[in-house]
Amino acid sequence: MKDLMGMMKQAKAMQEKMQGLQAEIAETTASGQAGGGVVSVTLKGTGELVSVELDPSLLKPDEKDILEDLLVAAHADAKRKLDAVVQEKTQALTAGLPLPPGMKLPF
């Protein structure tokens, strides 16, 4: 019974840490670039797009397709960086826990 109480305390502590981590991740930002920096986007940890910066040279009507592709590429770059930060923070929190391989946190 003592082991069960200890496990419950550990689970509660882990839950509190996960809530703190989720709040921290929500405030984290990551920026991505494309086209050698002519397009830059910034994402919050929630995935919300918070800013877009465009080099004025891209604002030509005949280059609309290029701009669209660069925006998508910059967003993907920022998302990759954000995912790496989330994974790093999550691994630091869950270090030493016997989690199944491939299990991603936060849920």
Tell me the average pLDDT across 79-94: 86
CATH number at residue 43: 3.30.1310.10
Strand partners, 39: 34, 54
> Is residue 86 domain-resident?
yes
**Domain residue limits at 59:** 29-94
- pLDDT of amino acid 90: 81
Average pLDDT, the chain: 85
Q: How far apart are CA 89 and CA 67, in angstroms?
A: 33
1 confidence band (pLDDT: 50, 70, 90)? low
How many domains are there within the chain? 1
CA angle centred on 79, ends 65 and 72, rounded to 5°: 5
Q: Is residue 88 part of a domain?
A: yes
pTM tops 0.85 = no
Is residue 34 a part of any domain in this protein?
yes
Q: Considering the domain boundaries, does residue 104 fall inside one?
A: no
- The pLDDT confidence band at residue 84, using thresholds 50, 70 and 90, is very high
The confidence band for 107, taking pLDDT boundaries of 50, 70 and 90, is very low
Q: Is residue 42 part of a domain?
A: yes
